[in-house]
Amino acid sequence: MVVLQGNVGPEDSIEYGQSKKGGETCSFMVANDDRGGFTTWVRVNAGGGLVPICRSYLETGRRIVVKGSLMNRSGGTLEVLAEELIFE
């Protein structure tokens, strides 16, 4: 389990779609700033019951806490498969 805290990225990074099994999905970027001023962008993928929450609360710049599983995709892209979303 990983906990990611940051800000929702630009609106054009928020995407809704269908999974291979036919369920709804939501994908968006979260910016996490460290104390040295370096920003790390992490893609978050959410499905199932989290999609209606995303539709209601996701907006650029909003603070969010994501709890889920960390995945490292090809090319060094970090992704989190969300299990819980907390909007601040």
CA pair distance 23, 17, nearest whole angstrom:
8
Domain count, the chain: 1
In degrees and rounded to multiples of 5, residue 49 shows phi and psi of -70, -10
Question: What would the pLDDT profile of 47-85 be if each residue is shown by its tens digit?
Answer: 999 999 999 999 999 999 999 999 887 777 779 999 999
Q: Has residue 67 been placed in a domain?
A: yes
Q: What is the mean pLDDT of residues 35-57?
A: 93
* Domain of 2, in residue numbers: 1-28+41-72
Q: What is the mean pLDDT of residues 2-27?
A: 94
- pLDDT at residue 43 is higher than 80: yes
Q: Has residue 57 been placed in a domain?
A: yes
Q: What is the pLDDT of residue 9?
A: 95
Q: Has residue 47 been placed in a domain?
A: yes
CA pair distance 10, 34, nearest whole angstrom:
19
Q: What is the pLDDT of residue 77?
A: 76
Q: Has residue 82 been placed in a domain?
A: no
